[in-house]
Amino acid sequence: MYLQITTRCNMECAHCCYSCTSKGDDMDWSTFCLALETAELHGACVTLGGGEPTIHPLFREFVHEAWEVMNYARSEVSVITNGKHKENALWLREMAMEYDCLHCYLSNDPFHEEIDPVVESAYAFSTWGPKDLQRVVYRGRAKKLVDRTETNDRCVCCDWFVKPNGEVYQCGCEDAPLIGSVYDGYIDGESGYCYLDPALEEVMKEKAEEIL
């Protein structure tokens, strides 16, 4: 489950699939906690993203809370950062080294702005142990994809996508259907599928047959 904890970003990359800028919305604490409960209920791993998650005012508190909830549920937490907020990016890296179920990645494709080399080297594979051989992602998520219906990985994020206001969408596509919210607890969909993926139709058919 992808938790978009902010729609703000400290970069303005022209290719960004979410077109985030310095202005936007931040997820509040209660919505975040309900989103974690929803993920735990459905046995889903969570990814904290944005925008740029490290610029959220409660970023460190969110990471701690997500780790506690997901660790108890024997699940995992991932965070993807562009590394521009040096202090939080380095703090995140140290946290991930300490806690097994917390994973962090540096998104550093050719279209991103330059960041401090200290952050780049901290996330480089040579500084990690056998558990984490590579933590730098060199391919970003672009606005225009060649064919979103071909495979799941054509979608910018094929997991359930939770926006800052708590609304849950089938996936990260900008025209993905709204399937519920963390407030009303109604989720109608299947995690791990882009809404354009033909496989989702088969899954939903099987689900309907089970209900009937």
Instruction: Report pLDDT digits (tens) over 109-165.
Output: 788 889 999 999 888 854 445 445 457 666 666 656 545 444 445 677 888 999 999
Entry pTM? 0.84
Q: What pLDDT does 100 receive?
A: 80
Sign of CA dihedral 146, 15, 120, 71: negative
Domain segments of the chain: what residues?
A: 2-211
Q: What pLDDT does 152 receive?
A: 44
CA–CA–CA angle 199, 204, 210 (5° rounding): 130
Q: What pLDDT does 188 receive?
A: 72
Of the segments 31-35, 99-103, 195-199, which one has the largest average pLDDT value? 31-35
Q: At the topology level of CATH, where does 2-211 sit?
A: TIM Barrel (3.20.20)
User: Is residue 74 predicted with pLDDT exceeding 90?
Assistant: no
User: Is residue 211 predicted with pLDDT exceeding 80?
Assistant: no
Question: How far apart (Å, rounded) are the C-alpha atoms in residues 61 and 99?
Answer: 15
